[in-house]
């Protein structure tokens, strides 16, 4: 896992307290950007640097100075008000031949480097900046954002427009706003630039986390003297749309559950899934998938490891699971908005739920004993106030039934004894990796392809 933070202000202060100067930090930041430019751009190309008046602009100016001579570097400022560091960097850059322009000329531009706002943006962009960004986003030049694409605020929301970059170089620490749902189409490839201090010294207080591929822990069968009961009995409650529950049951089976049963009416049930009249013998249960208005008696299962999905978010019965430490709540934004309203925690629109998803997820996780998995382009797992994000999913997963498969994967993990947090973390990674491994066209993947891919992780 990688550590995420809200902003790097506290960490910058930590570096300064150790004797680093702001100019040293800026030199290291600029060097990281310059190294990427040299890897991606042929010598002699024209580079336009978009500069603000703060430290983000200072990084851009220093980078232009480092590349000047090998590249044709131009500085365009969106403000005349430069702080002391930016002015000092500009004085040096002009002396070594970097050009300052009064208007950005996109003709023959090979690269645009964004050093306007960074992660500190807290207002909507003015019309002139929006027009500039629209022009640049339409251009096919290589685009690099320093620390944060301009127009994206610290919560990962777009403030009128956003620099749509190919690469984002986060300075010193990864910021959580880079991994919002809307940021996914704006940030390009995100990487971290070391500012001269190792992570464990620069980042002294771990806040939230970004899951990585290497964090995936697949179910392991190391013992030979075992039987089907050794790997748990997973149950799925069927409802008005039983096909959704059957897909979840199939995913749980493929993910390693020793036995899988469904409770409810289903025709043409696959032979490896058993049909039951009640939840006797259940080790873990998935409820809400395709449930609709179907009746369900939760008295016997509310204490079990469980996945709470879809229609259950709107029903009063979900309150019975709030004290359950082994419960995983799996709403998408619309269901999350309904769940918050249902529980009396907030009365907000879907748009508000998306806009404030980090803090809403964090606060909700403090109100329950289990785990929240808020689905989206970059799913959020929230447990006891800590967030774990996964940015490995893709648009292949935008197909009906994908969420049912995810619920089934979580169920498979729970049935085998994984904790709710472990199940949620491993499930989003397995889900994303199965989609990543799919070899067909992006638009062609089905939930059954996704389930089949679980065999080969």
Q: What letter does residue 175 receive in the DSSP assignment?
A: E
Q: Which residues contact 435 (CB under 8 A, 6 or more apart)?
A: 393, 394, 396, 397, 445, 450, 453
CA 273 – CA 264 distance, rounded (Å): 12
98/203 Cα distance (integer angstroms): 34
Please choose, from the candidates 397, 392, 385, 382, the residue with its C-alpha nearest in 3D space to the C-alpha of residue 442.
Answer: 397
Q: From the centroid of its chain, how far is CA 313? A: 22
d(CA 424, CA 430): 10
Q: How far apart, in Å, do the first and last CA atoms of the chain sit? A: 19
> Which residues sit in the known binding site for K(+)?
56, 114, 150
d(CA 327, CA 323): 9
Q: Which segments of 302-401 does DSSP mark as H helices, in order?
A: 333-342, 350-355, 357-367
Annotated binding residues, written as ranges, equal 55-59, 114, 118-124, 147, 150
SS3 of residue 285 by DSSP: strand
Please list, in sequence order, all residues whose beta carbon lies within 8 angstroms of the beta carbon of residue 279, skipping any fewer than 6 positions away.
235, 237, 263, 285, 300, 301, 304
Q: Which residue has the tokens 């059954």?
A: 448
Burial (0-12, 13-18, 19+ Cβ within 10 Å), 450:
buried
Dihedrals phi, psi of 390, to nearest 5 degrees: -125, 120
- Phi and psi, residue 384, nearest 5°: 50, 40
Listed in sequence order, the DSSP H helices in 96-177 are: 127-137
Which residue's structure tokens are 């498969």?
Answer: 405
| Placement of tokens 């301009």 in the chain | 150
DSSP state of 214: G
Q: Identify the sign of the CA torsion 107, 86, 82, 33.
A: positive
Binding residues for (6S)-NADPHX: 55-59, 118-124, 147
364 in Cβ contact with 381 (< 8 Å): no
Backbone angles phi, psi at 326, to 5 degrees: -105, 20
Give the separation between CA 99 and CA 48, rounded to whole angstroms.
10
């Amino acid at each position: 896992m990688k550590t995420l933070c809200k902003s790097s202000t506290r960490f910058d202060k930590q570096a300064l307290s150790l004797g680093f100067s702001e100019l040293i930090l800026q030199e290291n930041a600029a060097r990281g950007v310059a190294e990427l430019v040299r890897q991606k751009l042929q010598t002699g190309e024209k580079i336009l640097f978009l500069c603000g008046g703060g430290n983000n602009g200072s990084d851009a100016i220093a980078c232009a100075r480092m590349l000047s001579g090998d590249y044709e570097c131009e500085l365009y400022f969106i403000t005349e008000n430069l702080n002391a560091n930016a002015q000092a960097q500009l004085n040096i850059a002009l002396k070594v031949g970097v050009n300052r322009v009064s208007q950005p000329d996109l003709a023959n531009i090979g690269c645009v480097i964004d050093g306007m706002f960074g992660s500190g943006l807290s207002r909507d962009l003015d019309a002139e900046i929006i027009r500039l960004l629209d022009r640049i986003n339409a251009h096919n030049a290589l685009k690099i954002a320093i620390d944060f694409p301009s127009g994206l605020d610290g919560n990962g929301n777009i403030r009128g427009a956003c620099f749509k970059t190919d690469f984002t170089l986060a300075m010193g620490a990864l910021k959580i706003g880079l991994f919002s749902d809307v940021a996914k189409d704006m940030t390009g490839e995100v990487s971290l630039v070391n500012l001269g201090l190792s992570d464990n010294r620069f980042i002294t207080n771990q806040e939230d986390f970004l899951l990585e591929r290497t964090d995936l822990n697949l179910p392991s069968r190391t013992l030979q003297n075992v039987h089907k009961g050794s790997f748990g009995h997973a149950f799925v409650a069927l409802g008005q749309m039983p096909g959704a529950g059957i897909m979840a049951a199939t995913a749980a089976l493929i993910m390693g559950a020793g036995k899988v049963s469904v409770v409810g009416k289903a025709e043409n049930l696959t032979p490896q899934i058993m049909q039951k009249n009640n939840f006797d013998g259940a080790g873990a249960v998935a409820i809400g998938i395709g449930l609709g208005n179907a009746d369900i008696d939760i008295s016997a299962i509310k204490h079990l490891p469980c996945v709470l999905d879809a229609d259950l978010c709107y029903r009063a019965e979900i309150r019975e699971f709030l004290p359950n430490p082994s419960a995983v709540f799996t709403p998408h934004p619309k269901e999350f908005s309904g769940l918050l309203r249902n529980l009396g925690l907030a009365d907000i629109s879907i748009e508000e739920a998306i806009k404030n998803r980090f803090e809403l997820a964090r606060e909700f996780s403090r109100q329950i004993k289990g785990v929240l998995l808020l689905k989206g382009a970059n799913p959020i797992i929230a447990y006891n106030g800590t967030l774990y994000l996964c940015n490995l999913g893709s648009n292949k997963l935008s197909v009906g039934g994908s969420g049912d498969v995810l619920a089934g994967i979580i169920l498979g993990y729970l049935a085998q004894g994984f904790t709710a947090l472990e199940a949620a973390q491993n499930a989003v990674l397995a889900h994303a990796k199965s989609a990543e491994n799919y070899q067909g066209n992006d638009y062609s993947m089905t939930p059954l392809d996704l389930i089949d891919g679980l065999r080969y992780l």
